[in-house]
Amino acid sequence: MTIRTLTAPSRLRGTIHVPGDKSISHRAIMFNAIAAGSARITNFLPGADCLSTITCVRALGVEVQREATDVLITSPGLHALREPGDLLDCGNSGTTLRLLTGLLAGRPGFAVLTGDASLRSRPQRRIVTPLRALGAQLDGRDDGDRAPLAVRGTRMHGGSYALPVASAQVKSALLLAALGGDAPLVLSGKIASRDHTERMLQAMGVELTVTPEQITLYPLTRLPAPLSLRVPGDPSSAAFWWVAAALHPDAELTTSGVCLNPTRTGALDVLRAMGADLTITHERVEGSELIGDVTVRSSSLYGTEIAGALIPRLIDEIPVLAVAAACAHGRTIIRDAQELRAKETDRIATVAAGLVDLGATVEPTGDGLVIEGRGDLAFRGTALQSHGDHRLAMAWAVASLVTRGTTTIGDPDCADVSYPNFWQTLDTITQV
Ligand code: S3P
């Protein structure tokens, strides 16, 4: 296992083009895989997760040519996809496994989807139960709760389903399954989560209506049109630099071209509420998404409460927001975030353990964390572990920027899952 050794730099400066959004990159591949024809995707995220999606769609007969962040994808269309000849390996990627299971459940053919040890330990009943209710033939370990998942594709019935968890992966899996169904699908309940699936399917001509209470998808009467797009910068990646700049005493960092879709900007709202010196400029619309440049400077942060409707808007940013909270003045309470227990690691447990090692006062709860902010930057240098979780590796890197002494991070390379150039960018902004 590799180990990275870090010490706090004297300044942080720079403009960072954060890599393409992970959720949008996955969807750009998967949705173009069901359209007949070619599409060009630029600023694609070449992180390990999205490369898993490319590997899987290639196994379905889709042609994908990639050069760095430029992708040309050509598909024979949903009805001409072929049955994969081997296991579909989704690697570490929950989005690949869940969305593809939905997609394959609703069309003829047999497939088995699997992944690494972390992915095989994550709960899948959340997609398997509602997909089965719509007619899907699915099986897996623990009565379908754990991958490998076996899918015998079939024609889905429409119907209605109230989502019990605010999960874009579950929502998207159901919508994809219903594309080839025999009646409309109506989703209600906790539909407020990232909405890239809804936006992109609509842009491709799929008949889909969205109200605050429900989403209705009408089965395809003709194939979706290919959608060429430039992927906006990933706010979940930019958040590491926002927190780094807010915490460091001599910092100014700009992240440019970041997706500002309101379902993704919870971390900006929280940092503002904590007192961060943060400005957004050059707001513009690109394709189906609002983007802009975000600049953060050294700030005095105060504790806050992160709960309720905010949680799905910042779920992936909680590890780094917890680092911010540990340095802020006063207590931060994170509630309603039990979903953290079902991520790449149990992030309530792993974040709490790492912060305690850094000398912070943290109490893990059933659905979140209570963090007693120190009001100073007195983390102590220590040996931290990523546990193979990309967002932990990067959150600990941010903590190391405001730590006395030396920090080491075990298995830092897993940052590649969502941020291939993270460590190079860190070197660039600290050597100024
Ligand atoms: C994602 C949805 C979220 C998020 C994940 C990506 C997506 O997961 O944590 O990183 O692209 O749909 P859930 O749907 O499980 O909340």
Whether residues 96 and 159 fall in one domain: yes
**Which one of 316, 389, 411, 416 is the catalytic residue?**
316
Does the pLDDT of residue 348 top 80, yes or no? yes
pTM over 0.85: yes
Structural domain includes residue 223 = no
The average confidence (pLDDT) of the chain is 97
Burial of residue 18, with CB atoms counted within 10 A of its CB: 0-12 exposed, 13-18 middle, 19 or more buried: buried
Whether 318 is in the pocket of ligand 1, judged by its Cβ within 6 Å, is no
In this structure, the answer to whether residues 180 and 272 fall within a common structural domain is: no
* pLDDT higher than threshold 90 for residue 192: yes
Looking at the structure, tell me whether residues 7 and 67 fall in a common domain: no
pLDDT band of 154, cuts 50, 70, 90: very high
Does residue 95 have its Cβ closer than 6 Å to ligand 1? yes
- Tell me: do 176 and 263 sit in the same domain: no
Let me know: does 344 contact 391? Beta carbons within 8 Å.
yes
Residues 389 and 253 both lie in one domain: yes
- Report which residue type is found at 408: T
The DSSP call for residue 275 is T
Cis peptide before 232 (omega within 30 of 0): no
pLDDT in tens, 378-394: 799 999 999 999 999 99
Asked whether residue 182 falls in the same domain as residue 45, the answer is yes
221 part of a folded domain: no
Which range (134-148, 267-281, 364-378) has the least confidence?
364-378
C-beta 167 within 6 A of ligand 1? yes
Residues 7 and 37 in one domain: no
* Number of domains the chain is built from: 2
Instruction: Report CA(291)–ligand 1 centroid distance (Å).
Output: 20
Asked whether 319 and 367 are in contact (CB, 8 A), the reply is no
Residue 158 near residue 182 (C-beta atoms within 8 A): yes
Residue 172 lies in a domain: yes
Judge if the beta carbon of residue 23 lies within 6 A of ligand 1.
yes
Domain enclosing residue 57, as ranges: 22-211
247-258 per-position pLDDT tens digit = 999 999 999 999
7 and 38 co-located in one domain: no
Q: Are the C-beta atoms of residues 371 and 303 closer than 8 Å to each other?
A: yes
| Residue at 219 is within a domain | no
Of 211, 246, 278, the residue at which a domain comes to its end is 211
To the query of whether residue 427 is one of the catalytic residues in this protein, the response is no
Q: Is the CB of 168 under 6 A from ligand 1?
A: yes
Residues 206 and 237 in one domain: no
State the CATH number of the domain containing residue 67.
3.65.10.10
Same structural domain for residues 28 and 129? Answer: yes
| 167 Cα–ligand 1 center, Å | 6
Closest atom of ligand 1 relative to the 167 alpha carbon: 14
Q: Is residue 218 part of a domain?
A: no
With cut-offs at 50, 70 and 90, classify the pLDDT of residue 376: confident
Decide if 80 is inside a domain.
yes
pLDDT of residue 432: 76
Interatomic CA distance for residues 309 and 18, integer angstroms: 26
pLDDT digits (tens, 9 = 90+) for 50-91: 999 999 999 999 999 999 999 999 999 999 999 999 999 999
Asked whether residue 225 is domain-assigned, the answer is no
CA dihedral 320, 326, 330, 333 (to 10 degrees): 50
- Is the separation of the CB atoms in 295 and 270 below 8 Å? no
| 59 and 70 co-located in one domain | yes
Look at residue 352 and tell me whether its pLDDT is greater than 80: yes
Say if CB 35 and CB 77 are below 8 A apart.
yes
User: Do 182 and 286 share a domain, yes or no?
Assistant: no
